[in-house]
């Protein structure tokens, strides 16, 4: 599984404080603004609030859905998720940061169910079968 690092704004929280939607904003090739929404899943409550700017790292997952538009055309969308998320929040003009307790642990101490250790910048890709709330 690949480790992903994102930076964006918390746009909502859910699942009793163990989930957060983070919206990442980027500039497209044509100069317009694009947005990617990520569902971030935490082991414990994260204490985040809507509007906070955060950096999140965790295990990358995608879920591809098919749907039909108003014209009857089959379309596809991807729901992106960050599993076992760890967060650093940036607050105010002081530039202070706070980290969740989980951030203090190194990724090197995490192991997958198959006993392998996830590596930053990994090339593998996985699909998440979790049902996301959006």
What fold is seen in the domain 3-107? OB fold (Dihydrolipoamide Acetyltransferase, E2P) (2.40.50)
Q: What is residue 17's predicted lDDT score, i.e. its pLDDT?
A: 87
pLDDT at 121 over 80: no
- Give exposure, 19-46, as e/b (b: 16+ Cβ within 10 Å): bbbbeeeeeeeeeeeeeebbbbbbeeeb
Q: pTM value?
A: 0.65
Spatial distance between the Cα atoms of 58 and 36, rounded to a whole number of angstroms: 16
Beta carbons of 127 and 63 less than 8 angstroms apart? yes
CA atoms within 13 A on the CB side of 99: 8
Q: How confident is the model at residue 45 (pLDDT cuts 50, 70, 90)?
A: confident
* Other CB atoms within 10 A of residue 118 CB: 18
CA angle, 38 as apex, 36 and 41 as ends, to 5°? Answer: 175
Which residues fall within 8 angstroms of residue 49, CB to CB, at 6 or more apart? 10, 13
Q: Which two tokens stand for residue 119?
A: 């590596």
Q: How confident is the model at residue 11 (pLDDT cuts 50, 70, 90)?
A: very high
């Amino acid at each position: 599984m690949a480790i992903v690092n994102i930076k964006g704004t918390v746009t909502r929280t859910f699942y009793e404080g163990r989930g957060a939607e983070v919206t990442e904003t980027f500039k497209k090739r044509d100069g317009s603004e694009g947005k990617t929404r990520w569902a971030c899943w935490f082991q414990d409550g994260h204490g985040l609030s809507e509007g906070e700017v955060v950096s999140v790292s965790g295990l990358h997952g995608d879920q591809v859905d098919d749907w039909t538009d108003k014209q009857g055309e089959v379309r596809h969308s991807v729901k992106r998720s960050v599993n076992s998320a760890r967060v650093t929040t940036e607050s105010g003009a002081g530039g202070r940061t706070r980290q969740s307790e989980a951030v203090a642990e190194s990724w090197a101490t995490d192991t997958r169910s198959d006993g392998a250790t996830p590596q930053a910048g990994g090339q593998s890709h996985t699909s998440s079968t979790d049902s996301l709330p959006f």
